[in-house]
Amino acid sequence: MLLFIRIFLVLYGIIAAATGFLGVTASFDPLENPAMDNNHRFISAIWASMSIAFFYVAWNPSEVALFRFLMLALFIGGIVRALALRNYPATPFLIFGILIELIPTALMFWMHTKLLQNGSL
């Protein structure tokens, strides 16, 4: 169980780092909409910093509060993205993204709780 948790934490860390890097390096025309450019880069920086947290928890799974925060943040993000599908058509990529935010996070939360109860962390 712990190996599964660590693999997915590293995977989420890589995805978060890539999302942050792509968002920070994206080209926008700040003269056209400076608030959108500023907001996009801010969110990208949050994604990049979240990657550090994912990597940290992968090597320190006993950090219960941080682990639970990350899992809840991903799960809530998946629910919100699923609700947003009312506004535009679902593509396979979007559905995959939503499922990877909902299913593994719920499993990892449950596995982590079981490991804590067994004293394995």
Range(s) of the domain holding residue 45: 2-118
Give, rounded to a whole angstrom, the gap between the first and last alpha carbons of the chain: 11
- Which residue reads 């996070």 in tokens? 105
Domain count, the chain: 1
**The two three-digit tokens of residue 120, written as one number:** 């394995």
Whole-number pLDDT of residue 26? 78
Contacts for 77-86: CB closer than 8 Å, 24+ residues apart? 77/101, 78/102, 78/105
Report the pLDDT value the prediction gives residue 115, as an integer from 0 to 100: 94
Which pLDDT belongs to residue 74?
A: 93
Q: Please choose, from the candidates 17, 22, 120, 7, the residue with its C-alpha nearest in 3D space to the C-alpha of residue 59.
A: 7
Tens-level pLDDT at each residue, the chain (121 residues): 999 999 999 999 999 999 898 888 877 776 777 777 778 888 899 999 999 999 999 999 999 999 999 999 999 999 999 999 999 999 999 999 999 999 999 999 999 999 999 988 8
